[in-house]
Amino acid sequence: MGSYTLQDLSLAGVKWELSEKPLKSAVKKAPVQQNFQVNQPCSDKAVIIPAAAPITLDTVKSMVTRPSDTDSLVRMICEFNHPLRGGATNPVKPNIASKPNGLLIITDLPSADDDLSGNILSGNAGEMTDKMLTAIGMSRENVSIVPLLFWRTPGGRTPLREELDLSRPFVDKLIEMLNPRVIITFGTLATTEIAKTNLNDSHGNEIKDEKGHIIIPLYHPNYLILKPSAKKDVWVALQNIQKLLKNS
């Protein structure tokens, strides 16, 4: 990506966002209908871990063994007293496909739009995501989407290691429950955390994790908004993913 790398990734919000507003010059003004319903804010009446109780990684790992289905796990995420919860407007729920086709997207951090709506990959990034899926005959109805964090960090800053670690058992449990044939990672942070590799070197490549999942890193939709020329590489990768799902 040459001289674009650091500046574009920063502006794209792949690890964090520098602005609460989308770049007007980078997106069309005409709204695109998104294929999901706005989530209702989670109730604050039930908190699984009281604020006064210490939250440890072992506690979270123990908690995620209890739910037997994704609905129960999502409710647990909504009620969990994560350190970021107090500063977030809404927990950002994962999109659980009603008619799964074996594809799971794991994306970077919730945006300001996600925080307001409670939906992952909403706003301009959501419109780009839906276009990408539509191009290969898919939608959120058959593709699940899980964020690395379910709460927006203050100002969209880079998350602390502890914040990521306390969210990770929920992510891992969702992967286990959804049992995808192919996992796409959107963005630098998701690729680093899930695929254990660098996005620049691995974009579009097939990587197998220790559990045998096929992981394919892709540029974050925000990056494609800022750098439309990168869409060509993403399109090639999406076509390969489509063929991979058909043949697996």
Question: In the chain, helix, strand, coil percent, each to 5?
Answer: 45, 10, 45
- How many of the other CB atoms lie within 10 Å of CB of 133? 20
Which pLDDT score, from 0 to 100, does residue 55 have?
Answer: 83
190-208, pLDDT tens digit by residue? Answer: 999 999 999 999 999 999 9
Given CA atoms 230, 232, 238, 244 in this order, what sign does their dihedral have?
negative
136-168, pLDDT tens digit by residue? Answer: 999 999 999 999 999 999 999 999 999 999 999
The 3-state secondary structure of 9-74 reads HHHHCCCCCCCCCCCHHHCCCCCCCCCCCCCCCCCCCCCCCCCCCCCCHHHHHHHCCCCCCHHHHH
Which pLDDT score, from 0 to 100, does residue 197 have?
Answer: 94
The structural domains of the chain, with segments of one domain joined by +, span 48-247
At residue 17, does pLDDT exceed 60?
Answer: no
Q: pTM for the complete prediction?
A: 0.80
User: Using an 8 Å Cβ cutoff, are 118 and 93 in contact?
Assistant: yes
At residue 6, does pLDDT exceed 70?
Answer: no
Where does the pLDDT of residue 40 fall: very low under 50, low under 70, confident under 90, or very high at 90 and above? low
CATH of 48-247, one of 3.40.470.10, 3.90.550.10, 2.60.120.700, 3.30.2290.10: 3.40.470.10
Where does the pLDDT of residue 93 fall: very low under 50, low under 70, confident under 90, or very high at 90 and above? very high
